[in-house]
Amino acid sequence: MEGVKTDAATSARMARVRNRDTAAELAVRRELYRRGRRYFVQRAVLPGRRRVDVVFPRAKIAVYIDGCFWHSCPQHATHPKSNAEWWAEKLARNAARDRQADADLAAAGWRVVRIWEHEQASAAADTIEAALRDALPG
């Protein structure tokens, strides 16, 4: 990642990118809360720096709400033309880190639910609630 030259406008734009409380995260959390679901936000469930967007500890459900650009959505991924090689490596590292987080959580007994930012909040909440029903029968 070193050695990449960016102009001031690009640097300023990248500095404004949110890594938590995105519009998609807020919409899904609002819908879950409206349905009476209570959860933790941005919690580390395993040792290390990685945090989970929405956590249901009793059910051991970890929910990630992934941005289409940053996590290479199969429907909406785009590939910048400027610094193309650097971006390809960066996005590949993001995807590899996602797969590693999924594997680490699964090995620790957690179920991972991944939601794309383009999904409707109600559909995402349906998916999460189905996982909760499976994890907490009765």
Q: How many domains does the chain have?
A: 1
Which phi and psi (to 5°) does residue 97 adopt? -65, -40
* Any domain includes 119: yes
32 inside domain: yes
Question: 23-34 and 121-135 are packed helices; what angle lies between their axes, rounded to 10 degrees?
Answer: 60
Q: Is residue 104 part of a domain?
A: no
* Within a domain: 121: yes
pTM reported for the whole predicted model: 0.86
**For each of the chain's 138 residues, which pLDDT tens digit applies?**
555 566 676 666 666 666 788 999 999 999 999 999 999 999 999 998 889 999 999 999 999 999 999 899 988 888 888 888 988 999 999 999 999 999 999 999 999 999 999 999 999 999 999 999 999 876
Which residues constitute the domain of residue 75? 16-83+114-138
User: What type of residue sits at position 47?
Assistant: P
Residue 88 lies in a domain: no
